[in-house]
Structure 1
Amino acid sequence: MNSVRARGFSLVAAIFLLVILSALGTFMLSLSTMEQTSSTQDLLGSKAYQAAKTGIEWGTYQIMAPENTNPATAPFTTQYVCPSSPTTISTLAGGLYKFSVQVSCQSTSQPEGGNVITVYQITSTATFGTSPASNFVERQISASVNTCRKVANGASC
């Protein structure tokens, strides 16, 4: 009778240990999966920031290219005009080629002491994936660029 009890006890202990070890294994697997997902999101977030920064640099170039094509003393006739709708940049390469970047621009001009100061507000939004997927990320950056003219379409300050 004692041997039957001992076998019953050891069987219960074995089942208990098996349940505990399988629960521990499941917990470790879910922890590993969460860590991997978090690491992937962190990497995608960094890439989205770099893609948005690329949009700011592209927008700044669009504004400053007309400024730099005219000497300071030449008549300035090609002041940049912000497009009415956001521009999508689809030519990113390398690790950013799957990102969608939209760049929008707004400008205001103010006279100041005989000069015309134009302030451009650039907003760049980079996205990857589609919401609400687990791999969806979005970053938005804004920047201001100023230009100065003696008159609206004249020599630089």
Structure 2
Amino acid sequence: MKQRLQGGFALITAIIILVVLAGLGAFASSFIPMQQLGSAADIQGARTLMAARSGLEWGAYQVTQGGPSCAATTSNTLPATAASLQGITVTVTCDSSKAPLYKVTATACNQPSGGACPNTTSPNVSYVERQVEMVVQYP
């Protein structure tokens, strides 16, 4: 009687390893879109912060040039004119209730409500808002 050699164990092991590696690859590829969304949100946040800072500088300039030009509380919405700031709206408010100290606040966002920031309605998940403040003393 001839004894049969057992075979096929390596084939089963190879199939299991391939299935496990394919599962790991599919699991890892599900993180790539999330990472891209996170990077896009970081970039949008940085752009929005730069727009808010530029609005703050504009507001400080308005206070210091030719006498303070803000009433008790005024609000101006600035169009973002730089190509890198397209789609971002900046709202600058000035509070002169404690003159000669003027509080300038700039709020920038990418989805304004009623043409101004902040969005008080229902922004979606890609909504980004940054707010910066400065106190300016005019003589």
- Band of TM-score, shorter chain: 0.7 to 0.9
* RMSD across aligned positions (CA): 2.6
2:80–2:88 contact (8 Å) kept in structure 1: no
Write out aligned runs for 1:34-73 (5 A).
34-67=34-67
Write out aligned runs for 1:8-157 (5 A).
9-10=9-10, 12-67=12-67, 79-82=68-71, 84-109=73-98, 117-129=99-111, 131-133=123-125, 135-148=126-139
Summarize deviations over 1:67-116 as a string: whole Å, max 9, x none.
3xxxxxxxxxxx4233745221114222112111111111124xxxxxxx
Matches of 1:50 and 1:2, distance apart in 2? 76
Matches of 1:121 and 1:2, distance apart in 2? 91
Runs of 5+ in structure 1 lacking a partner? 68-78, 110-116, 149-157
Secondary structure at the residue paired with 1:6?
coil
The AA in structure 1 aligned to 2:107 is: T
Matches of 1:28 and 1:39, distance apart in 2? 17
How far has the Cα of 1:29 moved from its partner? 1.2
1:92–1:99 contact (8 Å) kept in structure 2: no
Secondary structure at the residue paired with 2:27?
helix
The residue that corresponds to 2:119 in the other structure is none
Give the TM-score, by structure 2 length: 0.74
How far has the Cα of 1:12 moved from its partner? 3.8
How far has the Cα of 1:147 moved from its partner? 0.9
* Alignment CA distance shift 1:18-1:82 (3 Å): farther
The residue that corresponds to 1:6 in the other structure is 7
* Alignment CA distance shift 1:120-1:10 (3 Å): same
The AA in structure 1 aligned to 2:69 is: Y
Runs of 5+ in structure 2 lacking a partner? 112-121
Matches of 1:86 and 1:46, distance apart in 2? 23
Give the TM-score, by structure 1 length: 0.67
Count of aligned pairs between the two proteins: 127
Secondary structure at the residue paired with 2:90?
strand
